Amino acid sequence: MQSASHFGVLSDPFCNQGTAFTEQQRYSLGLEGLLPSGIDTLDRQIERVLGHLDAKPSDIERYVYLQDLAERNQTLFFATLMSDPARFVPIVYDPTIADACLSYGQIFRRPQGMYLNKTMKGRFAEVLKHWPNKDVRFICVTSGGRILGLGDIGVNGAPIPIGKLQLYTACAGVPPEVLLPIHLDIGTTNAALRADPLYLGLRETPPEPDEVDAIVDSFMEAANEVFPGVCVHFEDWKGTDAIRLLDRYQDKYLVYNDDIQGTASVTIAGLITALQIKKQSLADQRVLFAGAGSAGIGIANMIVEAMMQQGVSETDARAKIHMFDVDGLLTQQRNDLSPSQQVYAKDLQDTKCLEEAVTQVKPTILIGVSTVGGLFTEGAVKAMAAHCERPIIFPLSNPTNHAEASAEQLYRWTDGKALVAAGVQFPDVTLDGQTFHPGQANNFYIFPAVGLAVYATQPKRINDAMFIAAAQGSADQVSQADRDHGMLFPRQNAILETEITTAARVAEFIFDQGEATVERPRDIRAWIESMVYTPKYGQ
């Protein structure tokens, strides 16, 4: 335990044990008289926390309570989350975190992580040195430019990196003290927020892309100066910024973008399982994306790489992928496409109707990353089912009201034949006496495991192939019994065990690639397990 005394130890979330301090600890730390006489075990404290949570009227109130707990007692916070991850992940992250972001100015209590802004360019190293822990191994940084389906919400997106890093620990056991969430405030295009008296960010519009690059260049240099070897996890940047910044840094620093690579990886994990159920290969599929932003492009690019691993040429793999955005199919006739979109433009008839696009493309896989709720209409889904016996349909947009279709609709419109995964967890669906368990293609199956593998192996760089290895590691853990019910991802109630298994697969791949900077252990699984954080009090 770190040295502290009197009220100091009770206000330090990494040291505080609350009512679990022993009599000897209370005496030696000068806490006598500052706590009730009773001494609790950690399990008893969790019981009390669960009682408090049960009394809360809504998940946003539970979120606020848990964040307050995290600011008081990290051990108890993570012990609570890890006691029932299937229950608590949706509260500390998606979907509840969307409400937390929307009401951030109202629910803000104490700072968590760091808050940098564009005026600090050139002084980022000086400011980063204010963080008390010098052994930071991961930074999750957002600009708030594209949060979930909420758009540009500036500093109101600060809960996102906080929640992401909490899942590093809760789902994969990465030690919380090596994690640093950061909001990098470059302004916001959201005029309503700029006028909101409770808004906590800069009341300016973002600069042009060249200046954004200069700001982030300064930040990246500073982060690697202050925390050598740190892995920077980019999260929820505006789509064009996200793609450009990943391309800019991935060969220079240890970086990844979860919206691009994590989303792609968890999607491929679901596709692997779905195709195993169908007894087909990825290389034989036709894919249609509804949405051609950073997430769609990232998934498409990783599918191309996965097909190439199966012996398909890059040209042929790209030919199997089609895209549809707000202006319709990406065709060769359009002149409004970015370079990353142009490679997927096809010689097809222009249409702004998704059903017509489905009829033209005849996809076997339909993936929604549009943030347009209800985009997958009954007509479009039935048009797909007319040429594909078991369509694979992933409405990945979140929160729930942005999902392209509900699981119940997709099962009903395909007579239960669709293989479904969504970005949110839909309830089970019973149809004609059969119960289906729709999967949740949530990135938390991937990025915490990749984080644990990176923490252990300290690689020089991170590449898409590592995320494909993570996808395979996740897919291999779906039991046959669960596949029989249409499940495409492992159950969430044993998420720590699942993530450790995936992390071991990724670590093995990193060693095989020669990217690790530490010596390869004889037993990678046991070595990974030895590093996993366990929430318990020190003596």
Residue type, 49: V
Residues 404-455 have pLDDT tens digits of: 999 999 999 999 999 999 988 899 999 989 899 898 898 999 999 999 999 9
d(C-alpha 247, C-alpha 297), whole Å: 13
Residue 6: the pLDDT is: 60
Residue 2: the pLDDT is: 43
The pTM score is 0.90
For helices 378-385 and 354-361, the axis angle rounded to 10 degrees is 10
CATH 3.30.360.10 for the 261-443 domain, yes or no: no
Contact (CB, 8 A) for 236 and 148: yes
User: 419-422 and 434-436: which strand pairing?
Assistant: unpaired
According to DSSP, residue 151 is labeled B
Check whether 138 has a pLDDT greater than 90: yes
Equal CATH topology for 7-92 and 261-443: no
134 is catalytic: no
User: In CATH, what number does 96-253 get?
Assistant: 3.40.50.10380
**93-97, 320-324, 338-342, range with the lowest pLDDT:** 93-97
CA distance readout (Å), 315 to 109, 361, 363, 500 = 52, 17, 18, 36
- The third-level CATH classification (topology) of the domain covering 7-92 is Hemocyanin, N-terminal domain (1.20.1370)
Tokens at 43, concatenated: 């399990």
Q: How many CB atoms lie within 10 A of CB 364?
A: 22
Domain range annotation of the chain = 7-92, 96-253, 261-443
Partners of residue 365 on adjacent β-strands = 287, 392
382 is catalytic: no
Of 477, 501, 489, 475, nearest to 173 by C-alpha is 501
In this prediction, residue 94 has a pLDDT band, given cuts at 50, 70 and 90, of confident
Those residues whose C-beta lies under 8 Å from the C-beta of residue 123, and which sit 6 or more positions away, are none
- Check 93, 104, 168, 199 and give the catalytic one: 93
**134-138, 421-425, 522-526, range with the lowest pLDDT:** 421-425
d(C-alpha 511, C-alpha 144), whole Å: 34
Q: Above pLDDT 70, what percent of the chain?
A: 98
- Check 164, 238, 411, 445 and give the catalytic one: 164
In this prediction, residue 1 has a pLDDT band, given cuts at 50, 70 and 90, of very low
What is the phi-psi region of residue 327: left when phi exceeds 0, alpha when psi lies from -120 to 50, beta otherwise? alpha
